[in-house]
Structure 1
Amino acid sequence: MFLPELAELLGARIVPVRGGAGFAVCDTKLLDAAAFNKTEVTAVTHNSQWVTPGALFVAINGDSVDGHKFAAAAEQAGAVAVLGEGRTAADESNLPYLQVPNARQALADAAVALTGDPSADLRVIGITGTDGKTTTSWLTRYILRATGTSVGMLSTAGYELADGELQQFEGRFTTPEAPQVQQILGEMRDQGATAAVIESSSHALLMERVRGVKWDVAIWTHISPEHLNTHGGMEGYFADKRKLIEAAPFAVLNADDPWCERLRGIAPEETTYGVDSEAEWRALNIAETASGIDFTLQYPGDDREGNNVDAFAQTQAHLPMLGRYNAYNALAAIAAVNRLGVSVPDALRALREFPGVPGRMQTVQEPQSDINVVIDFAHAEKSLEKALQALREVTETELWVVVGAAGGTRDPSKREPMGRIATTIADHVVFTEDDPYFTPVQEIIAQMTAGADAAGNSNYTVIEDRTAAINFAVTNAPAGAVVLLAGKGPESTIERAHGSAPWSEIAAAKTALNLRNSMRG
C-alpha cells in the first residue's frame, strides 16, 4: 500500500513545512510529492526494534517515554514514515510525518489494512472478564475443533494456528499488540482456519490491540477488582471490558455477574448463562468429584425461534476439570459454539474429552506419588479463593498452597487479601516469590503475611526462593494431601529485578515429587 493511500485511510494529516510547501521531513529538508506518492508501506509497528524495511513507525507517547525518541532508530532500520499525534523535539529522523488524533487507533487500523483485514474471513469469538477467559477460550477452541471446525486461538497460554500447535508470544501479555494480532489472524486464515477464538484482556481493549477485529460472538465471564491502577477504578475497568460487548453482534453474558444487568441490550442479540440465576443456559445439580464435575444442562429448546420461546431442554453433562466454577466456563463455551452452529449433543460429547488447559487446575503426577500437586494460574484474591475452595472439596487430608504476588505496579493492594484468603482456606501456606520484578521479595511477602496475621492465622512458612518453597511444600505435606502451586501457571519465565529467568512450574513440581519419593525410599 502506498503511503498517501494509507494516510487517507487513517485520516492522517501530512505535516507541512512551516512557512513553505511540500511534505515535512524536518525543518530543513523536504520530500517532494513524487517521492512521497511512490513510497510503499509494507508493515506497521510501534516498536523500533521490530521495524523492517518499508515499515510505518508509530510513535506512541507513553506515561514516561516519548515514542518519538526512537524515530531515528526506526529510520535506520528501514522505516519509511513516522506516525503520531504530533511531532515532538525528540524526533530526530528525516522521515515524512503523519499526524492523527489517536496513535493507538491508527496503529490498529493500519495493521488491519496492511494484512488484508483477515478477521473478515473468519468467524471470531472474543472472551473478556477477570477470571475464566483462558479456560473458556480453550474449551471453545476444543469444542469447535472436535466438531470439525478449523480454528485458531489467541490466549494467555499462547496462540494456535489451524495446525493446533501451541506457540508463545515474545512478551508477557494476554493479547499481543495490534500488528501481531492481525498478523496471527492472517496466518490462521492462510492456514485454512474458518474460525478464531481470542482472549481479550482489559489492557487489550483499552490500548486498542483488538480494534478492527470483526467479532461474531462476545463472551463476558465476570469482573472483580483487578488492574484498577490502570483503569482508574472499577467503573473504568468495566467500561474498558464492555468495549468487546459493544463491538459484537451477539453477546453471551454471565447472568450471575452483578455487572451483567448493565450489559443487557448493548449487543443487537444476546443470550445468558449461569448457575443461580434464571439464565437461558444453566447448570443445575452440580456435583464435584475427583474426576471432574457433573451437572444437568438446561438450555433453549429447538423451537426457541418459534412461538414457544420459553421452552427449555435438559440433558446431562460432564466436564473433566476440577472446580465448580468451571461449570460457568463450560456454559459460556457451549452457548458460543451453538451460535456458530454446533449442536448441544455434539458440544457435550466433545466436552467429555476435554484434556484441560496448561497451568489451569493442571494435575502433575509421578509414579508412586501419595499426594496430588495441582498447578493453577490464580494470582488474585478471587481466583485464589475459587481454586482453593474447589480443591478443598476433593482433598483427603490437608490442603497446602505455595503462593506469592507480583511486584512492580501490579496491584499491591491484592497482597494482603491473598495472604488472608490463603491461610484461611488452606491448612498450610508457603509464601514465596511470584514475579517480583524490581520490588524486594521480602516486601511483597511481608504484605501477604500481614493479611494472614490480621486474620489471626499463623499457619504459614516463608521461603523466598520459589524452587525451595515448592520442594518444602511437596516433601512436607502429609499423605493424601493436595498441594496447590498458585500464580505462575504456564509461564515460561520468572521476572526478577535483574531480568527474566527460565521457569517451568511443571518441571519444578515433578522435581519436588521425585525428591519426595526418594525421601520415602
Structure 2
Amino acid sequence: MKLQTILNKIDYTTLQGDVQVNIESVAYHSGLIQQDSLFICLEGTKRDGHDYIAQAVMKGAVAIVIQKQVGLEFVPDDMTVIQVDDTRHALPIIASQFYSHPSQAFRLVGVTGTNGKTSVSHLISSILQYTGRKVGTVGTLGNRINNEDIKAYRTTPTTPETVDLQASFAAMRDQSVTDVVMEVSSMGLKNKRVLECQFDVGIFTNLSQDHLDDHGSFEDYKESKLSLFPMCPYSILNIDDPFASEFIGATNGSYETYGIENKEADLNATGIKSDEKGVHFQVNHKEFQNDVYVPIPGEFTVSNSLAAICCCLHLGLDIEDIIEALKHVKGPDGRLQTIHSPEGYTVMVDYAHTPDALEKVLLNLSPIKKGNIFVVFGCGGDRDRGKRAVMGEIASRWSDYVILTTDNPRSEEPASILADVEEGMQAPGDYEIIEDREEAIQRALSMAEPRDIVLIAGRGNENYQEVNGSKRSLNDFDVVERFMNQHTSTIKEG
C-alpha cells in the first residue's frame, strides 16, 4: 500500500522523501521492523522510539513517522520522513487504514471495567458460539477465533497495541468472523489503542481502585474507562455500580442497564440460589421472565450473565437460545477455575487481584461454604501499594485462614510487599507467610480437609512469575494438579 494512502486521514508534513513509496508493514517497535516497513516513533514511559531511527534504517524501513525534531544526518536522503503532532494519535489511524478498516466487517463488542471483563467476554463468546456464530475474542486469554488461538504479537496483557489489534481484526475478517468480543483496558483507552475501532456495543461492568501506578489518580483511571462509551452506538451498563450514573452520562446513543434485584434496571435478577457448582436465578425484563442456570458459582456470575444476556439479545439472539447456551458454558481459565479433590475439599483458582474483586469472591463463597475457607494470595510489586493492606484486611475478615505469599514481585523485595499486606491482617495467628508461592499453595492444600474451600487468588491463568526482571514458569492451576496427582489417585475438575 502506498504511504500516501496510509496517511490519507492524517495531517502531516513531509520532511524528506516521497509519499508514493510502497509500504509492506507497519511497525511501532524496533524489533518488528522488516524490509519496506513504515516505522512509527512512539514516546513511552521507559523508551522513546525516536532513539531507534538508526535501527529502522539498518533493518530496511523505507519511511518513518516522528513527532519531534530529531537529527536526520544518518537517514538516507531517499528515505521518507513524515512529521505529525502526535504519533500516538496517528498510530491507530495508520494501522486501521493499512489493514483496510477490518472492524467494519463484523459486530464489535467492547467490555470495560475493573473486574469481570474476561468473564463477561467469555460468556458472550460462549453463547454466540453455541448458537452457531463464528466469534473472535481479544483479551487477557489471548486472541482467538472460536477458542482457537490465532497468531498474534502481544506487548500488552489485555488490549493489544493498535497495530497488533488491527492485524488480529484483519485475520478475523479474512476468516469470516461474524462477531468479535474484546476486553478494553483503561490503558488501552488512554493510549488510544482502540481509537479507530468501530464498536457496536460497549459494556461497563464495575469500577474500583486499580492501576493507579499507571494513571496517577483514580479520576484519570475513571475518565479513561468513560471514554469508551462516546464511541458506542449502544451501551450496556451495570446500574448496581456507584459510578453508573457517570457512565450513563458518557453514552452517545441508546443504552440499557442491568442489576441484581434492582427494579430500576432494564434487566434484573431475582431468586438467586448458589452452590459450589453453579447458580440459579430468574431474569426479569419488560418482555419476559425466565429461569436461568449457569454452572459457575457466585453472585458475580449472575451480574456477568446479565451483561451477556443483554448483549446477546441486542446481537439478535432469542432469550430461549441464550438460556440454553448458558446451561452449557464453562468458566474461563483462571476465573474461579475449580478442582474438586477426591478427599472432599474444593480448590478455586481466580484472578482476583484488587480489593473489590477479592472481597466479591470471598463474599460469594461464604454462603456456600460447609467447612473452612483458606486463602492464598499476595500483591504485585511496582504497583499500587495502597491496596495491599486493604486486601490483607479483606482476606482476614472473610476467610478462616490466610497464607500470604508472592504474586509478581517484579523489582520489589517480596518481604517488603508482604509486610505491606500484613499490616491489614486483623487476626494474628490465623495466617502465615510463605514467600515461595508454590510452597504456599502446597501448604494450603495439605491443610485442607473435607468440605473446605481453598481459594488461590491474584494470578488466574498466568504462566510465569516476574521476579527481578526475569520470568520463571509458574501456573497456580498446574501446581494444584501436580499436588493432587502426587497425593491422590484421581482429580475432578468442575
How far the C-alpha of 1:97 sits from its partner, in A, is: 2.1
1:13 matched residue in structure 2:
13
1:399 pairs, out of 373, 387, 405, with 373
- In the TM superposition, 1:381-400 aligns within 5 A as 381-400=355-374
Paired amino acid for 1:467: E
1:188 lines up with 2:172 in the alignment: yes
- In the TM superposition, 1:319-334 aligns within 5 A as 319-334=294-309
Distance 2:479 2:215 in 1: 35
1:309 matched residue in structure 2:
none
1:464 matched residue in structure 2:
435
- Deviations 1:349-386, CA, capped at 9 Å, x for gaps: 101110111000000245x2321111000111111111
Moved more, 82-91 or 232-241: 82-91
1:145 matched residue in structure 2:
129
2:241 pairs, out of 249, 257, 261, with 257
Secondary structure, in 3 states, of the residue corresponding to 2:7?
Answer: helix
1:290 matched residue in structure 2:
276
Secondary structure, in 3 states, of the residue corresponding to 2:432?
Answer: strand
1:425 matched residue in structure 2:
398
How far the C-alpha of 1:388 sits from its partner, in A, is: 1.5
Paired amino acid for 1:443: S
Secondary structure, in 3 states, of the residue corresponding to 1:263?
Answer: helix
Contact 2:339-2:346 at 8 Å conserved across structures: yes
Sequence identity, in percent? Answer: 32
Secondary structure, in 3 states, of the residue corresponding to 1:290?
Answer: coil
TM-score by length of 2: 0.94
2:349 pairs, out of 375, 400, 408, with 375
- In the TM superposition, 1:47-446 aligns within 5 A as 47-89=29-71, 92-94=74-76, 95-162=79-146, 164-165=148-149, 170-265=154-249, 266-277=251-262, 278-301=264-287, 313-365=288-340, 368-408=342-382, 410-446=383-419
1:18 matched residue in structure 2:
none
**Structure 2: which 5+ residue stretches go unaligned?**
490-494
Q: Cα distance 1:111–1:168, how it changes in 2: closer, same or farther (>3 A)?
A: closer
Paired amino acid for 2:175: Q
Distance 1:498 1:370 in 2: 39
Contact 1:436-1:495 at 8 Å conserved across structures: yes
1:26 matched residue in structure 2:
none
How far the C-alpha of 1:478 sits from its partner, in A, is: 2.5
Distance 2:289 2:5 in 1: 55
1:489 pairs, out of 460, 468, 473, with 460
Q: Cα distance 1:191–1:91, how it changes in 2: closer, same or farther (>3 A)?
A: farther
Distance 2:284 2:438 in 1: 45
Q: Cα distance 1:167–1:72, how it changes in 2: closer, same or farther (>3 A)?
A: closer
Secondary structure, in 3 states, of the residue corresponding to 1:219?
Answer: strand
Distance 1:447 1:2 in 2: 55
1:2 matched residue in structure 2:
2
Paired amino acid for 1:352: K
Distance 1:135 1:285 in 2: 22
Moved more, 226-235 or 377-386: 226-235
Contact 1:319-1:351 at 8 Å conserved across structures: yes
Contact 2:154-2:161 at 8 Å conserved across structures: no
Distance 2:72 2:486 in 1: 56
**Structure 1: which 5+ residue stretches go unaligned?**
16-22, 24-30, 302-312
Secondary structure, in 3 states, of the residue corresponding to 1:378?
Answer: coil
Paired amino acid for 2:387: K
Secondary structure, in 3 states, of the residue corresponding to 1:374?
Answer: strand
Paired amino acid for 2:410: Y
Q: How many residues align?
A: 485
